[in-house]
Amino acid sequence: MSINAFLNGVAPYNAVSEKWSKVLLKNLSLVGVYKHIAVDHSSELSDNSDAIHLRMVNDSSVSVANYYTRSSTSVTVTAAGAMSGTAGTEGTITYGTAAVDDYVLQLTETPATAVKFEDYALKTADVSFQAKIIERGLYALSKFVDTFVMNTIIAAAGTTLTAFNATTAAAGDMYDILLQAAAVLKKAGAVPVSNVSDLAGDQGIKETGYVVVNPDVMRFILKEPAFVKVDMTDKNALWKDGVVRGTIAGLVVLESSNMPTTTNVCTIFAGIKSASHFAIKKISDRMIPAQNQFQMLWSVLTSCGCVVSHPSAIVKCAITVA
């Protein structure tokens, strides 16, 4: 501990060594998947708003009907050019009225994180250490938002597949579950991915079917011959952080360590990005010095919300992993 902390009676367990551990400064490799599985509407929030109205046309309200053309088969023409018979009927078309669904993206969760820096004199001098501590705080917030968005999407899933026990499954059974999920998404308009290079374009995974799994489920997917692993050394921004693991059954496989697991059961889910929406709003972010205690206090408060506009494009399945 530093001499300033010692002279001012700061407890040794509250004081950080002046030589920082490499483990403490190690960059975190785990990242959230929420930005890849839902549309970000954060920029649409005003300073004093806490909700966004997403108005979308209800697909089932737009119908197509037969158009009946003129019919005059009974009309005859004489040699003199005169016509006789039954007059034809004008074609008719049925007009439908499109219904509009209003989904409210409400900021309902208010996650917060705070860090207390001991030994004020030292921490104000070590800017890199301050930045690293703040990075850890923001990472904790990111995990909270990631879990919140995933839980919201899972709860709104329009299709639930039969529960599956991966520990007793035969070869190909996991692949069959993913094929079932892919079939649901295709009916909802998902574009199957045929090659990982398809993800490098502007479209990314916006309309491509995705599936989110945790590491326990990922180990079973890795055993499937149909799984195509991406090159993790690739510089493409989408998977360089380790979010995208590969493709299978036309789906992009995303791995998250933030998925909740209950009694060795993980509920995986699949969908398309445009079916879910989220927004994050930073309420406060400040660094407060407390010089008399040789401390610096940093806190951040955010509010977030998530809504699913197309449950038919979300499918889930409970997987027993142990």
Q: Which amino acid is at 40?
A: D
Q: Collapsing DSSP states into helix, strand and coil, what is residue 216?
A: helix
Q: How confident is the model at residue 125 (pLDDT cuts 50, 70, 90)?
A: low
Q: How confident is the model at residue 300 (pLDDT cuts 50, 70, 90)?
A: confident
Contacts for 158-163 with beta carbons within 8 Å, 24 or more apart?
A: 158/310, 158/311, 158/312, 158/313, 158/314, 158/315, 159/184, 159/312, 159/314, 159/315, 159/316, 160/315, 160/316, 160/317, 161/315, 161/316, 161/317, 162/317, 163/265, 163/317, 163/318, 163/319, 163/320
Q: How confident is the model at residue 184 (pLDDT cuts 50, 70, 90)?
A: very high
pLDDT of 195 over the 50 cut: yes
Average pLDDT of the chain is 77
Confidence (pLDDT) at 152 = 95
Exposure of 10 in the CB half-sphere (CA atoms within 13 A): 25
Distance CA 200, CA 203 (A): 8
Distance CA 155, CA 85 (A): 64
| CA dihedral over 13, 14, 18, 23, signed as positive or negative | positive
Q: Which pTM was predicted?
A: 0.76
**Both tokens assigned to 300:** 């951040």
pLDDT tens for 208-231 read 899 999 989 999 999 999 998 876
* Domains, in order of start, for the chain: 3-54+107-320 (3.90.1690)
State the pairing for strand pair 276-290/39-40: parallel
pLDDT of 207 over the 80 cut: no
Confidence (pLDDT) at 241 = 44
pLDDT of 14 over the 80 cut: no
Q: Which of 10-24, 158-172, 273-287 has the highest mean pLDDT?
A: 158-172
User: What number is the average pLDDT over the span 3-14?
Assistant: 48
Confidence (pLDDT) at 93 = 65
Q: Which residue has the higher pLDDT, 98 or 39?
A: 39
Confidence (pLDDT) at 140 = 83
Exposure of 265 in the CB half-sphere (CA atoms within 13 A): 10
CA angle 74, 77, 81 (to 5 degrees): 155
Distance CA 41, CA 105 (A): 9
Sheet containing 295-308: order of strands: 39-40, 276-290, 295-308, 112-117
